[in-house]
Structure 1
């Protein structure tokens, strides 16, 4: 490493001497030249060359050449700059001139987008992570999927593998129990909150609203994590802020780029279930256990069983290899006064589950102009249309429990409507192929601003934006399948329309005074949101041919539904960044938010923050260490943020409609539904952060360390109130939750030169703890979960297994089975409360938690002579998953299919200590048997690309030709027995549940990028 570093320093020294040696003064009013990459020798288009002390500038063309009239005498100094390369100053002694640029190795010099402005990374006092360029290249269906494993402190969970399905994100842990936990997204200045529930899908399988935004349009993604960075967003900053900036055109650089890819997807693994032969044996055992007097072969004889074979593999019938494709055309260019970028995208993904898919067509236009010296305008507009065929609700569970002895079709060729046993459930292949669940989402999102320079350094900016969404859903269940047979078919239509407008008015001041630098902003913002939801349903149709297009022809009309909501947010904000001598940095901000969502006595919240950093490496006493430690900065911050994601009208008394019967006549009326709470306010998060940024060996090694303490109080919880009020509970501000942890970010340039190897590692540890839940309560139970003081959110609460009851133990241990008449082969459970027997309600304990001990991501990038290779590994360790599928598949009733673990079930000849006997009517018990390790290590992304040499691509009149092949989710190492350890529910109180969720796919794709 040091040898390569020494060679680099010597090369730079020789180059600088060679430049300075050109000292012969000349007079020439024209300067021309060529700008190339110092490593590849290839020309660089779009580089800006300026003459210091003048307004003269030019930009290189597609061949890296430039020429402009200067009217200056040689020599003079040029400043040469381009994104991704080091900005240099060079003395021009004559024309033409060749300029060689080196790639910017120091990421601390990169510009980072923060709230209402930008900063150099080296000047930031808060905790901010940026997504690497390699991660942004992935052709994914939604923006939020780019964050998987890409940044320290950011945990991403896929909540559905459905194409266009949802993703849940936690930045430094979840803090809210009943409020929102998702981060705020800011796309080109417009704040968005990602809530899958907003669409209200008729199918019951929500889609991801962010999936309608094309990820290929994104230039940068910056994640604000600590309160110093997020407090400028006030009441919406408690869960972190993801700032997304889309691509812009380059001055004097016109280009047309096409990028396309095609790939296939497949199911990573099938669950191991009983085939027809083994299921028939299980059913015989279950029937025999219930009534031995009828003999063992009550279902089928041994001869019949031997003829069954494997039967129907329902998973194989439902899952298939599915194609995906992505096409993007981008036109960009401009001049020093105007820049533009227009892109069109088509993305199409078939699901690995038959009859599911997602397609999106989008167009974006970004325009930046400076018509006058002191005035500039910018507009960013995107429109998209996304169509999806969504899987029926519960289809995965149906595929697993349908016995292999059942067939898809009957003897007549019609669908077998249902399984032939006591527990009736529908034919899942018929449901999958014949049900219609369509969703269409139309989205328009646009922002535009004008910025005027009042005096040097003082700018007034006015931004206007609008976000318009329309979701249309159509559902039909025909009468020819089981779900529709008893109701004569069922049709439904639903619409969800939302509109949000934004106005931001900011005054910023940026000025340097010798060693002092000041960057300040004040502003007023206002945003308003409104939505409408309408649903209509009908049943009992004469024909299925019209599907959902003739609701009026249904003989049975289902009561329609409609709803409307509206909220308003007004805000005042201010921030000051001060630095002295590029050594000491101070940041202070405050935001005041007034929201219509809260009680009339608590509409306004105030969110201050302060941060400081010291760049020790710029001190004189540090000069002797510069060769080893090139950058050293310490940071500290404190701030307050809020969470207003509680829905609308929660502070108000509400009514609900119901029917009354008077004298045989039905009348509709209203009754009170909720008590008012005028004091309902924000969930408030106080966060402390301490950080350290270190660079070694001219920043070839960059290390970022952060530790944080994040306490959320005034939780929004439904607490018990006296029944004399007429209500049992009320939404109030009670309780608190703590998140604390540390993060490590490491970037290294391992090898430079002809062969390049760079590594990026992020590692995060978060500890979550419930501190209080109000009214003196210590816990409350929600289904299979418990929220308990002293424990983390997401704690599983159930019974603890203790082996299998063996023959002869009925008297001594039978009371620990939970059965009225215990038998050998029953599962034993621990007596938690010590009363000498087991009962499911009284003998429960915490049996696992969905919070991981740590998460990490590791990316390695390699480059050699036009080839590039990316290897991205992601992992999580220490979290538990509730395998609800296994809970169902280990009932061993013989009425539904079962896990292959049933092959080792208890029998008199096989006295298993872990797997219980078959019995027809077991009482389901939620226990630690179904809590599994969710730890995994995944080869998340691998891509290999090749860039054609310029000489070859130029022959085809192309400036760049790039080919690549890539794979996602190729290998996964895990002990989890379900479909996938990465895809679980993302709810606040009950995360980490794999309950019939659409599995994630493994994919391989190939693509190319052509630039004209």
Structure 2
């Protein structure tokens, strides 16, 4: 029916031409859009399938499946299944790849009308030869690499029960050394070096890059369970893309971004839980009460003093002495105490637990992963512990030619540090005849529920009760960190792509320290509670823009990358402190209530870095490889004229195994030669070091003191980066169908423009200035070999072994003083780099030391009495070599005794699967170094004030060679050599009362501590069992694996102390961890 307000269309009322055109245009466009959309839908299909192990038929979770020539990709779920949607119809090449397996490419016809199924069976291949590997700003097939890169698989990462990702690469990658950072307290960062060290005063740690974002802070805040892979870039061809930050190696970490293959609108859940107990790996054999009684009497006798109880022991010690030596006293006081085992008094059994919950969802081209974890570790030392709370959100989506993704990680960690080394120093030094509690007349008060802790266990004014020290000394570090990595990648067509990476990193750290009024300092209680709090806030961000091109021209293949990036870091520090606090429970809070608040201190540090980078990867006939890289960095840390520097590299590769003439060598399944050269930098110059700076001072202005300022340091605008020129040659090989495979590399690195402090004449008004002077060099080789001992065919056992060998030698070429040695700092031309020898003065590194000391020759014997007197010594004293023969022991008689750098690092990893069982173990060795057995001197004073190692020490009765050890009755004419051969007569010196032997400042005191070193450590043993799906289904689980682990269960060493990798007598002992756990999939 026609509207009464509008005439009907008729010949007499035609539609206006303009209206017709408008209607046709609008509706025509809608129709055209609908037709295009319909055609698009009709022209796209779906590929589904599974990826399994060809030998065991087990599903491979986390494998990547990609449709070549498109941006369509997926990852397999825990069942090995994947789904790829929106695949253009037609014949497509699809590739599946996973770390540790050879990539497989298949051709498939994609039908838009129906789904296509394509299954992959991957063949396990050595990680050195095949598979996809993450490189700087991209990925590459491993066979196309010209650089030296080591990898750690997800399976290896999962085997380590820790909160620190760097423990996952410990003993896994040749050329990489990972050790505890000077202590074994929970949560301490690891000390990581790649191919040795090369800097004396600047840093030697690698650059960490997470999801393409270089970190300004540490790596310990990241949850290892969220990591998909770890790659270590070692040579210039691999590290030059990071320019001024690449000299010390680069560690790339890629986090998990969810798994495709999950049905749309479905959530997959997994839960991992583990519980463990920890105990001290090794305790030293210190003297107990009765042994101390005998040693104290021997010391008094050697000093010519009376040896009766009243003369040797204090009234507080006598009850323990009588309990140890007097049967009548023991009968009258049953259960009496013979003394205190101070080591065990500060120990406990530690507990560890870890829980992680992950949710993964896929909706078309969108992937979402949520991960939450909790880690809790009670240290084996009283007052120590570590807790970490972590959450990660990862999202990725692909829409036509645009792919975007973001990962956000939030972490909170709390480390209870306590007195740490101070506590153990007291526990080792304290006289075992002392008691920790006020016994109120009860001799056996080694433990007491109602008694109070003694301030001092003995009358010794310098000895402190370690239990009371732990009770009143509180130290805690809290870290909060929010890290993000976002990207957007647009396919521009014709092989071009544009990508933007943005990574903000916000961190806050609080260091709090509280000392109660009874905490002892220099032998006296401090008398008033005091506390200090330092807050550090750091915000850094990275913004990179990349343009890439991938193209093929017949036999020529190109992969070109261009980058412009900026990085910024802003750090503020605020410190407040106060004394005379009213109550202990306030710790480091509300410090304004103290009577003597100290002036607050604050600082600001800002630096920026701008970079241009270009890289060309060229492949000819899939056999001849070339990589050219150049990076141009500009830093705000340097002065004008020196801000910018260029870092180039070249890498060459030859897949000689693919040459026709190699076919005659049938046992060679793969062979590639590599060589690279280039220059990288070390950017560890602190901000403002090129400036002079101002220090606050006071001066006299009449009758009063006036406030003023003076130059704090002499400016040096000529400072530049330390630069390292590198040369690397390597070979990758596979033999007998890759049953034996590996890589071997040899390298040489020369670092110049070292940052060192140079002495200045006093007339300048300064004592030293920081300059670029000196050179060091690194040389070495490394090998990684994998053997498939049992192939696992037809459901049989599969057993593989990974062997890693590393040899590195570093030495100083020149110093600021020219060719002269710097004896004060233990820097010698031609010798390794010494990184501090005093734990109290940073930088200190127990495993990077050179020992310059007297040469130990044993103990002066009775037959040597006349010669010993010429040196002011007597029988029973330490004997050292008179190097220059001047009949005097002076500083000129010191020699280089050795260093702590091992000549060889070795590791052996075995992994066995048979049916549903899996077993693995990892063994690591450090061989061929000089051990500084600190307990031989620091814990063996053989002096009445301290406890000592339970050793056989020299006494005249024992060492004169006579039949009666209670008197001197040795045969006439016995030689010093015969005396020294008597057990216990040439190892440890005579006890002495009234003086410390060795004396505190005796130059000979440390000489017996140096001895050949080497040890093997079992890093990890894991045994697991995966239940059948039918059994797991009874519990409503999709999968269930239970396992048991032993982490660091034992070490084989001749070291007397707690751990050969600790290096300090007061370091808390290392520990073993026994764990049970379960992995559950829903």
The DSSP-based 3-state class of the residue aligned with 1:617 is helix
Taking the TM superposition and a 5 Å limit, the aligned residue runs for 1:235-384 are 235-253=244-262, 255-290=268-303, 292=305, 298-300=311-313, 303=322, 306-307=325-326, 310-371=338-399, 373-384=400-411
Distance 2:495 2:45 in 1: 32
Query: Residue 127 of structure 1: which of 143, 148, 151 is its match?
Result: 148
Distance 1:705 1:636 in 2: 12
Distance 2:645 2:989 in 1: 57
Q: 1:766 aligned to 2:808?
A: yes
Largest Rg, 1 or 2: 2
Distance 1:450 1:110 in 2: 25
Taking the TM superposition and a 5 Å limit, the aligned residue runs for 1:795-874 are 795-807=850-862, 809-816=864-871, 819=872, 822-839=873-890, 841-874=891-924
The DSSP-based 3-state class of the residue aligned with 1:878 is strand
Distance 1:146 1:375 in 2: 34
1:285 shift after superposition: 3.9
Structure 1 pair 267–256 and aligned structure 2 pair: CA distance change class (3 A) = same
RMSD between aligned residues: 3.0
Distance 2:454 2:70 in 1: 82
Find the counterpart in structure 2 of residue 469 from structure 1.
507
Find the counterpart in structure 2 of residue 163 from structure 1.
186
Asked if the contact 1:786/1:797 (under 8 Å) is kept, the reply is: no
Distance 1:247 1:859 in 2: 25
Distance 2:375 2:70 in 1: 47
Find the counterpart in structure 1 of residue 761 from structure 2.
722
TM-score, normalised to structure 1, is 0.89
Query: Residue 231 of structure 2: which of 222, 225, 232 is its match?
Result: 222
1:534 shift after superposition: 1.7
Distance 2:227 2:433 in 1: 51
Distance 2:861 2:789 in 1: 61
Distance 2:64 2:471 in 1: 58
1:441 shift after superposition: 0.4
Tell me which moved more, 903-912 or 119-128: 903-912
Query: Residue 883 of structure 1: which of 933, 950, 953 is its match?
Result: 933
Find the counterpart in structure 2 of residue 947 from structure 1.
1026
Distance 2:425 2:822 in 1: 29
Q: Summarize deviations over 1:361-414 as a string: whole Å, max 9, x none.
A: 01111111112x222111111000001110315222111001111111123522
Asked if the contact 1:174/1:181 (under 8 Å) is kept, the reply is: yes
Structure 1 pair 802–660 and aligned structure 2 pair: CA distance change class (3 A) = farther
Distance 2:706 2:991 in 1: 52
Query: Residue 125 of structure 2: which of 83, 105, 124 is its match?
Result: 105
Distance 2:281 2:628 in 1: 49
Tell me which moved more, 158-167 or 918-927: 918-927
- Structure 1 gaps of 5+ residues are 1-27, 195-208, 985-992
1:46 shift after superposition: 7.8
The DSSP-based 3-state class of the residue aligned with 1:493 is strand
Structure 1 pair 294–136 and aligned structure 2 pair: CA distance change class (3 A) = closer
Structure 1 pair 33–686 and aligned structure 2 pair: CA distance change class (3 A) = closer
Tell me which moved more, 745-754 or 864-873: 745-754
Structure 1 pair 364–779 and aligned structure 2 pair: CA distance change class (3 A) = same
1:255 shift after superposition: 2.2
Q: Give the number of equivalent residue pairs.
A: 952
Structure 1 pair 81–547 and aligned structure 2 pair: CA distance change class (3 A) = closer
1:935 shift after superposition: 1.1
Query: Residue 657 of structure 2: which of 617, 628, 631 is its match?
Result: 617
Structure 1 pair 831–80 and aligned structure 2 pair: CA distance change class (3 A) = closer
Q: 1:140 aligned to 2:162?
A: yes
1:710 shift after superposition: 0.8
Tell me which moved more, 124-133 or 387-396: 387-396
Structure 1 pair 453–833 and aligned structure 2 pair: CA distance change class (3 A) = same
Distance 1:58 1:287 in 2: 79
Structure 1 pair 995–190 and aligned structure 2 pair: CA distance change class (3 A) = farther
Structure 1 pair 310–245 and aligned structure 2 pair: CA distance change class (3 A) = farther
1:118 shift after superposition: 1.0
1:127 shift after superposition: 0.5
Tell me which moved more, 699-708 or 558-567: 558-567
Q: Summarize deviations over 1:196-218 as a string: whole Å, max 9, x none.
A: xxxxxxxxxxxxx4322111111
Q: Summarize deviations over 1:498-551 as a string: whole Å, max 9, x none.
A: 111111111111111121111111111111111112222222234334333332
Distance 2:738 2:221 in 1: 39
1:163 shift after superposition: 0.4
Find the counterpart in structure 2 of residue 185 from structure 1.
208
Q: 1:646 aligned to 2:692?
A: no
1:560 shift after superposition: 3.3
Distance 1:294 1:763 in 2: 57
TM-score, normalised to structure 2, is 0.83
Distance 1:569 1:66 in 2: 41
Asked if the contact 2:810/2:831 (under 8 Å) is kept, the reply is: no
The DSSP-based 3-state class of the residue aligned with 1:803 is strand
Distance 2:987 2:291 in 1: 19
Asked if the contact 1:884/1:995 (under 8 Å) is kept, the reply is: yes
Q: 1:89 aligned to 2:106?
A: yes
- Structure 2 gaps of 5+ residues are 1-43, 327-335, 441-450, 835-848, 961-984
Asked if the contact 1:635/1:692 (under 8 Å) is kept, the reply is: yes
Structure 1 pair 677–497 and aligned structure 2 pair: CA distance change class (3 A) = same
The DSSP-based 3-state class of the residue aligned with 2:296 is helix
Find the counterpart in structure 2 of residue 710 from structure 1.
749
Q: 1:1011 aligned to 2:1081?
A: yes
Tell me which moved more, 536-545 or 643-652: 536-545
1:593 shift after superposition: 1.3
Q: 1:978 aligned to 2:1044?
A: no
Asked if the contact 2:299/2:943 (under 8 Å) is kept, the reply is: yes
Find the counterpart in structure 2 of residue 4 from structure 1.
none
Find the counterpart in structure 1 of residue 37 from structure 2.
none
Q: Summarize deviations over 1:828-877 as a string: whole Å, max 9, x none.
A: 221123322112x3321111201101001110100011111011111110
1:682 shift after superposition: 1.1
